[in-house]
């Protein structure tokens, strides 16, 4: 009968045989299992590359730990990269590799009770499909940093404490409207390019948590993700359908949903309009303004 930790033994045996390089590719990686994996890699191996993905919702759900960044800080052999679209699982030691369904978690590897049913098969590293996938991962990956890891953990903690389910690309956001007044600050903090006062950062982190944008995106990719989530806000249905939305209509719709007084609803409407102008191709006309798609003409 197959042992409960059969998948773990496959990974451990592969890692123990490494002589030069180890590659770990999995969307979900738990810190304890990652540390166990690194522990079986011979000290003679000089390069350990890990590619994973971090989203606030997945970290909040407990399926992935951004704290694996600590291993890279304490072991110079280790580098960690992020690939937002990652779904493949691949474990490589020199020229040998395992591919299949198993993430590097306790349930996937059989290191905890009630393990998942998983599959890992050894295939040649030179297999065309392996090369294709590895090439795509390399092209889409960015370096993970301690800032990125800490920021994702902050967002996850907000989601857990408020028991909020973030919006997906094709769902309305039932509880969220942006609160950061200057949307250009959002990517600046997300990327680690700039820091702000604790009060300003708290608002940005909460907006990021509700958006559930994957960590490690370029600015263009980040902007596209945010714009897609903005268009899921139900108050903007008319803007999508009729290509126009007045400030009065937007304020009224926000007040009806939130119960906020007029001044607060106006503030929120102005903030939302600023986000649409920054992350999308919208402009507002002066005075009693309307949001319209396109670029404002002189």
Write out pLDDT tens, residues 106-157: 999 999 999 999 999 999 999 999 999 999 999 999 999 999 999 999 999 9
Give the confidence band of 163 by pLDDT, cuts at 50, 70, 90: confident
pLDDT at 170: 52
Residues of the chain with pLDDT > 90, as a percent, come to 74
* pLDDT at residue 47 is higher than 70: yes
As given in the structure block, the two tokens for residue 239 are: 């803007």
Nearest to 207 by CA among 234, 175, 236, 239: 175
What pLDDT is recorded for position 247?
A: 82
Query: pLDDT tens digits for 252-279?
Result: 889 988 899 999 999 999 999 899 889 9
Tokens of 170: 């094709």
What pLDDT shows up at residue 175?
65
Query: What's residue 297's pLDDT?
Result: 45
Q: Are 229 and 211 in contact (CB under 8 A)?
A: yes
CB of 282 closer than 8 Å to CB of 296? no
| C-alpha distances out from residue 186 to 12, 81, 150, 225, 234, Å | 41, 22, 16, 13, 22
Tens-digit pLDDT profile for residues 209-254: 999 999 999 999 999 999 999 988 888 877 766 667 788 888 888 9
pLDDT category at 4 given cuts 50, 70, 90 is confident
Does pLDDT of 62 surpass 70?
yes
- Give residue-wise pLDDT tens across range 195-205: 999 999 999 99
Question: Helix 247-258 to helix 262-279 angle, to the nearest 10 degrees?
Answer: 120
pLDDT value at residue 287? 52
CA distance 69 to 53: 12
Query: CA angle 197-181-192, nearest 5°?
Result: 45
| Residue with more model confidence, 216 or 294 | 216
Q: Write 5-8 long-range contacts (CB < 8 A, 24+).
A: 5/109, 5/110, 5/111, 5/115, 6/110, 7/102, 7/108, 7/109, 7/110, 7/115, 7/118, 7/120, 8/109, 8/110, 8/111
Residue 3: per-residue pLDDT: 83
How confident is residue 172, by pLDDT bands cut at 50, 70 and 90? very low
Instruction: Give the pLDDT score at 63.
Output: 96
């Amino acid at each position: 009968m197959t042992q409960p930790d059969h998948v773990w033994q496959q990974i451990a045996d592969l890692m123990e045989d490494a002589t030069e390089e180890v590659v770990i590719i999995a969307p979900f990686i738990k810190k304890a299992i990652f540390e166990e994996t690194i522990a079986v890699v011979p000290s003679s191996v000089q390069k350990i590359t890990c590619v994973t993905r971090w989203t606030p919702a997945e970290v909040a759900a407990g399926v992935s730990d951004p704290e694996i960044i600590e291993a890279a800080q304490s072991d110079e052999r280790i580098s960690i990269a992020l690939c937002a679209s990652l779904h493949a699982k691949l474990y490589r030691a020199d020229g040998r590799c395992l591919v299949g369904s198993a993430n590097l978690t306790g349930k996937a590897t059989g290191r905890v009770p009630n393990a998942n049913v998983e599959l890992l098969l050894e295939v040649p590293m030179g297999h065309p499909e392996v090369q294709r996938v590895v090439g795509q991962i390399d092209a889409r990956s960015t370096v993970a940093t301690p800032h990125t890891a800490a920021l994702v953990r902050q967002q996850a903690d907000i989601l857990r404490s408020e028991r909020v389910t973030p919006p997906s690309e094709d769902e309305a956001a039932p509880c969220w409207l942006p609160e950061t007044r200057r949307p250009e600050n959002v990517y600046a903090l997300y990327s680690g390019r700039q820091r702000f006062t604790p009060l300003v950062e708290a608002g940005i982190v909460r907006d990021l948590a509700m958006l559930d944008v994957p960590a490690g995106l370029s600015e263009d990719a980040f902007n596209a993700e945010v714009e897609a989530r903005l268009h899921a806000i139900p108050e903007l249905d008319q803007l999508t359908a009729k290509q126009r939305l007045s400030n009065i209509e937007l304020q009224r719709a926000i007040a009806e949903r939130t119960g906020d007084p007029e001044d607060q609803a106006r503030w929120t409407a102005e903030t939302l309009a600023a986000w649409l102008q920054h992350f999308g191709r919208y402009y507002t006309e002066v005075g009693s303004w309307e949001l319209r798609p396109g670029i404002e003409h002189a």
